[in-house]
Amino acid sequence: MGVARRLGSRRATRVGLVFLALFLALGVWPTSWLPHDPTEVNLGLANRPGLWAGNWSQPLGTDFLGRDLLSRSVYAARLTLVIGLGAVTIATLVGTVVGLLAGYFAGWVDEVLSWLIDVQLAFPMIALAVAVIAVLGGSLTSLIGVLAATSWFTTARVVRAQVLAVKASLFIEAAGALGAGSVRTVFRHILPNVVSPILAVATFEMARLVLTESALSFLGLGVSSPQTTWGAMIGDGRAYVYESWWVATVPGLLIAALVIAFNFVGDGLRDAMDPTSYASSGRTGGGGLRSEQATEP
């Protein structure tokens, strides 16, 4: 397949991939190399500016408890990624199964599953997520679960549409004529043909979920201290933003960079799979996989 090569042929995609690799490395690497303990409180050093004020000891400054922002940002990268990846994995698995079932069996299975998707689309997701977390109590598991719940139907819709298209092809008919059962047809013949769009959707959803998680954490419904994510760090910095703008700005820019990197890679994936799109000119098409879903705060 030329997908990998076409993927690497775009500069924006390469930039996105490099950034993602960097963020992943930061998240996976042990934090022992960090200059300071990310959770160490030192009130004497509270709200100190970083390099721009000649502070080489804490290059990105400190927050209201005197914690080193560089160390904290790296420390928070791990949980930010774990929550996003965890939620997107669950959402993709559920969405794929639902989409396959709805697309392949059609009839009442499709009606029921489409109804479920319509119901879910009716809810203002942030509001519902906020309410569910408030009822269940905030924890890593409930956060990942709620985020997955706001995302699975995007995959389900795309997979369903793809399955409907693939199902009409001759080779599926041939598989049926050769005696392949439903399960075999779905998993051996249909699934491999819808993997690429699933990957692209997952990439865009990852970007969206990072933003949603940051909004929930900002509202104080995310993970609880000492655990932290970039969104929670913005929440920490909000009250001190007038005296020390960097406390909220550092994690804010990190989130933006991560989300944009995922979007670059998603655009690249979509174009690499779709020979009709203008891969070389980097057309930012909204018409493809992305059209139905916008980014929540």
Partner 1 sequence: MSQWVAWRLVRMFLVWIGVTLVAFLLLRLTGDPARVVLGEFASPAAMAAYRAEQGLDRPWPAQYVSFVSKALRGDLGTSLRFREPNLKVIVERLPATLELALASLLISALVGVPLGVVTALRRDSAFDVVARGLVLLALGIPNFFLAILFVLLFGVELGWLPTGGRGGLGHLVMPAVVLSFLLLPLTVRITRSSVLDNLSMDYVRTARGKGVGSRAIVWRHVLRNASLPVVTVLGVQSALLLSGAVVTETIFSWPGIGRLLVTSITGRDFPLVQSAILVVSTGVVLIGFFVDLCYAALDPRLGRSRG
Q: Which residues bind partner 1 (CB under 8 A)?
A: 115-116, 118-119, 121-128, 130-132, 134-136, 207, 211, 214-215, 218-219, 231, 234, 238, 241-242, 245, 248-249, 252, 255-260, 263, 281, 283-287, 290-292, 294-297
Nearer to partner 1, 105 or 191 (CB): 105
Nearer to partner 1, 1 or 122 (CB): 122
Q: What is the closest distance, in whole angstroms, from the C-beta atom of residue 255 to partner 1 in the complex?
A: 5
Q: What is the closest distance, in whole angstroms, from the C-beta atom of residue 157 to partner 1 in the complex?
A: 12
CA dist 174 and 71 (Å) reads 58
Nearer to partner 1, 32 or 281 (CB): 281
Q: What is the closest distance, in whole angstroms, from the C-beta atom of residue 267 to partner 1 in the complex?
A: 9
Q: What is the closest distance, in whole angstroms, from the C-beta atom of residue 65 to partner 1 in the complex?
A: 19
Count CA atoms within 13 Å of residue 264 on its CB side.
19
Classify residue 274 by burial, with Cβ atoms within 10 Å: 0-12, 13-18, 19+: middle
Nearer to partner 1, 201 or 248 (CB): 248
Question: Mind giving me the DSSP string for 242-297?
Answer: TT-THHHHHHHHHHHHHHHHHHHHHHHHHHHH-TTS-TTTT---SSSTTTT-----
Q: Which two tokens stand for residue 97?
A: 């199964």
Between vectors from CA 150 to CA 193 and to CA 265, what angle results, nearest 5°?
Answer: 50
φ, ψ of residue 37 to 5 degrees: the values are -70, 125
Residue type present at position 252: G
220: left (phi over 0), alpha (psi -120 to 50) or beta: left
- What residues form DSSP beta bridges with 62? 68
Q: What is the closest distance, in whole angstroms, from the C-beta atom of residue 237 to partner 1 in the complex?
A: 8
Q: What is the closest distance, in whole angstroms, from the C-beta atom of residue 53 to partner 1 in the complex?
A: 18
Nearer to partner 1, 3 or 119 (CB): 119
Nearer to partner 1, 190 or 261 (CB): 261
